[in-house]
Amino acid sequence: MNELPMQPPAHAASAMPLAGYRVLDLTIARAGPVAVRLLADWGADVVRIDPPDRKPTLGPRRGSDEQNLHRNKRSLSVNLKTAEGMRVLRQLVERSDVVVENFRSSVKERLGLTYEALRAVNPRIILASISGFGQTGPYAERPGLDQIVQGMSGLSSVTGEPGRGPYRTGIAISDTTAGMFLGQGILLALLHRERTGQGQWVHTSLLEAMLNKLDFQGARYTVEGKVPGQEGNSHPTLVPMGTFAARDGQVNICGPGAAMWGKLCEFLQAPHLAEDGRYKDQPSRLAHRRELEEAISAITRQFDVADLVERLNQAGVPCGPVYDIGQAFEDVQAKHLRMTRPAPHAELGALPLLRSPINLSGCSHPEAFQRAAPDAGEHTNEVLRELGYSDASIAAMRGEGAVA
């Protein structure tokens, strides 16, 4: 077991940008928790609502995935199917700034978690919702999963080698992207409320997030009517930009502009490529991409990865190794950036979890997370006492099954 780190000083949380804001987390799966994690990492007091009978959806609560998603949160286990449980939720809504959820519309209606219902309890409340396909429309009630949306957004169609796809990306990109966008939307709504005093409903979906994430390839269709296809490890429009073989591995090389192309040919000692009319400019290189990539790989195979990376970057041609995840975290630059911070867990020890990638000059990252992800109901008594419940009342509620 790792030794527990020193807890961050008490003033650390109060100095964070979102200190003083309370967030209720009613989400499940990945996209919603990603949004809430942004708020928790930057100082918001997040109370996660865990139904007594909820089973973790992403592995055990003390597993790496759940720990990384739910650090810096507290957990209140409350049964929203009971009148007393709903009363507790309403009290929390009265005292909160943001409620985050990913229920279907019909479930929101049944639980009284629509924006209209919450606004009646707290006019300043911000409801943040995430769904698979949007809050309205023919697919609004469909369950939305990352791989389903990767396919429906067109992302899978441009992923993989030509003629060998479609492929899903190796990460849950629609979940995490939608969560990031919802987190940004919450911050925008908080800024708007600071100016107007008004809460609002902010929402996004996995499908909206991924259609937006298509970016320039999406715009190629909406503006030019072109449907991009698979290009494997090659850039869709810039040549040469892709993955090339080395003697002991693979590298990514970027040399599409005239200056970089000239420097690349010089380094490779390949004047025949620089002088070849098929490769004289970007349109010509794009038209003869496959021949050019094979010609470059025939030369780069004569070099080690480290040699290519060092010497091409010195020459002004961007080049980097192709790592596995372990190598990526052990790289000297990743080590310098200190992308993990310890989260103190009473039984698991100090868990090295991934920090927020946002860096603020006026508010540095704490040396440790405030807390590891809680067990379900770990803070039930604590949160209820904050609401004014006595120990006797809490015990009675436990006996009735309203909380756990």
Q: Which two tokens stand for residue 314?
A: 């010195």
330: Cβ contacts below 8 Å, ≥ 6 apart: none
Residue 276 appears among annotated catalytic residues? no
pLDDT of residue 13: 64
Of the residues 50, 97, 175, 304, only one is catalytic, namely 175
Residues of the chain with CATH 3.40.50.10540: 10-214+339-400
pLDDT, the chain, mean = 94
Local structure of 291: helix, strand or coil: helix
**Which residues make beta-bridge pairs with 78?**
403
DSSP E strands in 194-298: the ranges are: 201-205, 241-246, 249-254
DSSP E strands in 116-179: the ranges are: 126-131
* Average pLDDT of span 204-215: 98
pLDDT of residue 15: 85
pLDDT in tens, 227-260: 999 999 999 999 999 999 999 999 999 999 999 9
CB 47 within 8 A of CB 97: no
Local structure of 316: helix, strand or coil: coil
Q: How far apart are CA 129 and CA 149, in angstroms?
A: 17
Q: Which two tokens stand for residue 176?
A: 């995490």
pLDDT exceeds 60 at position 5: no
Give me the long-range contacts of 222-230 (CB less than 8 A, separation at least 24). 228/158, 229/157, 229/158, 229/162, 230/157, 230/158, 230/159, 230/160, 230/161, 230/162, 230/163, 230/164, 230/165, 230/166
Q: What is the pLDDT confidence band of residue 54, given thresholds at 50, 70 and 90?
A: confident
pLDDT in tens, 100-114: 999 988 889 988 999
pLDDT in tens, 312-351: 999 999 999 999 999 999 999 999 999 999 999 999 999 9
Question: Does CATH number 3.30.1540.10 belong to domain 241-330?
Answer: yes
Q: How far apart are CA 45 and CA 72, in angstroms?
A: 8
Rg (CA), the chain: 26
**Which residues make beta-bridge pairs with 344?**
350
Residues of the chain with CATH 3.30.1540.10: 241-330
* Average pLDDT of span 68-96: 96
DSSP 256: -
Q: How far apart are CA 142 and CA 131, in angstroms?
A: 9
Q: How far apart are CA 312 and CA 82, in angstroms?
A: 65
pLDDT of residue 9: 43
CATH number for the domain formed by residue range(s) 10-214+339-400: 3.40.50.10540
- Kindly write down the DSSP assignment for every residue of 94-130, as one continuous string: HT-SEEEE---HHHHHHHT-SHHHHHHH-TT-EEEEE
pLDDT of residue 276: 95
Out of 46-60, 150-164, 210-224, least confident range: 46-60
* Average pLDDT of span 165-178: 96
pTM for this one? 0.93
pLDDT exceeds 70 at position 3: no
Residue 45 host element (H or E): strand 45-50
DSSP 78: B
